[in-house]
Amino acid sequence: ARPRVGYFYTGKTGSEIITEKLMKYKVETFQSMPIVVKEDDSAYDAISAMFLSDVGTLFAVDQDNNLVGVVSRKDLLRASIGNQGLQDIPVHIIMTRMPNVAVCYPDELLVEAANRLIDKQIDSLPVIERSNETGAKVVGRITKTTITKAFVELARNELM
């Protein structure tokens, strides 16, 4: 029986406290800068951009800077063992194309984005602005690195 004097126990278990805490973390707080390429850039240029910015996934945009696809190290590696020269293959040929690209939004929970990464078996999600405009504007990226950092900070009590 729960004591009714002096002190009221909240009745929350450790697991509930963890869930409650994780439900506060939004994508926008954790997202990092998106690295973009033009869809007409070559696979070779995409590989160069990847090394220059040290990311594993690039977001391909059209002339209006709207997201049209995503290109990963895996896509580029597949292209590199093909017969065509990397200079001659444009990004739009090898990328995953909208609307097949998994995305997330700034106001979503970090844990929802993490779940989407696992569910879709991908390394990175573009963060897209919610708006009524036509076209998807990329404002950030969430990767397995983002989630791994959050996990470490959670263990160290560095997250609020």
Rounded distance, CA 157 to CA 160, Å?
7
Among residues 101, 104, 120, 113, which one has the least CA distance to residue 59?
101
Counting contacts by CB under 8 A, is residue 33 touching a second copy? no
Rounded distance, CA 61 to CA 66, Å?
5
Residue from 81, 107, 131, 133 in contact with a second copy (CB under 8 A) = 81
Counting contacts by CB under 8 A, is residue 5 touching a second copy? yes
Count of residues touching a second copy (by CB under 8 A):
52
C-beta of 26 vs 73, nearer to a second copy:
73
CA 96 to chain centre: 15
In sequence order, what are the residues at sequence separation of 6 or more whose Cβ sits closer than 8 angstroms to the Cβ of residue 86?
42, 43, 44, 47, 76, 79, 80
C-beta of 19 vs 65, nearer to a second copy:
19
CB of 144 to a second copy, least distance (A): 4
C-beta of 20 vs 40, nearer to a second copy:
20
Cβ count near 154 (within 10 Å): 14
- The C-alpha angle with vertex 144 and arms to 148 and 136, in degrees rounded to 5, equals 135
Counting contacts by CB under 8 A, is residue 84 touching a second copy? no
Do the Cβ atoms of 37 and 29 come closer than 8 Å?
no
Residue from 37, 114, 127, 136 in contact with a second copy (CB under 8 A) = 114
CB of 111 to a second copy, least distance (A): 4
Binding footprint of a second copy on the chain (CB under 8 A): 2-7, 9, 14-23, 44, 47-48, 50-51, 54, 56, 73-74, 76-78, 80-81, 86, 111, 114-115, 117-118, 121, 123, 143-145, 147-152, 154-157
